[in-house]
Amino acid sequence: MLPRAVAKFTRFKDSYPKTVRRAVFVAAVFHLLLFVLAPPFTFKPYTVKAETVIEVVDIPSEIVIPSPPEEIPWPSGKFTDLDDPDDPDDPDDVPPTTLKFVDDVPAPPTVSASSNGFIAFDELPELLSFDKPAYPELAREAGIEGMVVFKVTVGADGTVLDALVHTSDVTDAMALAALESLKRARFKPARQRHEPVKAIVYMPYQFRLR
């Protein structure tokens, strides 16, 4: 019994490589035929089918028209005057008013350079000339940038009467350089009723390296 089993195992062992090669060849031929004979795949985008909704409305066979409302009779008798002579809101008691147009309006008073008063204006001052301030070398090397806002008093002749630092996020040297340039600036003065007047405005200046 044992020698027969050993002989069968020996034959299986000898035929194993040939069996594996045949199986691989048959599998390859099968997949090749499947690839050649199978129909090509065509991609079709998915479309949502729209459902048609039909709403059925029940229409009554008879339409009932309501009857018109009853007519309200006019009151009988004569109408009396309801005005109250003691009522202050009575329009008959209001005296007539007149509207007078004034053509000659006096010009606003001029403000001298030494005055600290404030006068309203209709048109803002416009900057005409301004020399760009020199960028402090230490601030340039440190890469400091920022903005300084000045409170500027512009005279009626367009010159800068006074300039103060309102807010600043730069160094004192940068703010001082911009302030000195601003004091030499020229403006188109503010106007009130077409007359040049003094005005106070706020002007920003941005320090940028690029």
Tell me what pLDDT residue 1 has: 52
Asked, for residue 117, whether it belongs to a domain, the answer is: no
Tell me what pLDDT residue 92 has: 54
Asked, for residue 189, whether it belongs to a domain, the answer is: yes
**Region of residue 129 (phi > 0: left; psi between -120 and 50: alpha; otherwise: beta):** beta
Q: What is the pLDDT of residues 88-123, one digit of tens each?
A: 555 555 455 443 444 454 444 444 434 455 567 888
State whether residue 159 is helix, strand or coil.
strand
For the ranges 14-23, 44-53, 84-93, 179-188, the maximum mean pLDDT occurs at 179-188
Q: Are 153 and 161 in contact (CB under 8 A)?
A: yes
Average confidence (pLDDT) over 83-87: 57
Q: Is the pTM of this model over 0.85?
A: no
CATH number at residue 158: 3.30.2420.10
Q: How many separate domains does the chain show?
A: 2
Q: Which residues contact 5 (CB under 8 A, 6 or more apart)?
A: none
Asked, for residue 80, whether it belongs to a domain, the answer is: no
Tell me what pLDDT residue 121 has: 84
Q: What is the pLDDT of residues 65-77, one digit of tens each?
A: 777 778 777 776 6
Asked, for residue 167, whether it belongs to a domain, the answer is: yes
Asked, for residue 107, whether it belongs to a domain, the answer is: no
Q: Which domain holds residue 25?
A: 1-41
Asked, for residue 76, whether it belongs to a domain, the answer is: no
E strands, the chain, are 126-129, 146-154, 160-168, 186-188, 190-192, 195-197, 199-207
Above 50 in pLDDT, residue 175? yes
Asked, for residue 171, whether it belongs to a domain, the answer is: yes
How far is Cα 139 from Cα 208, in angstroms, rounded to an integer? Answer: 11
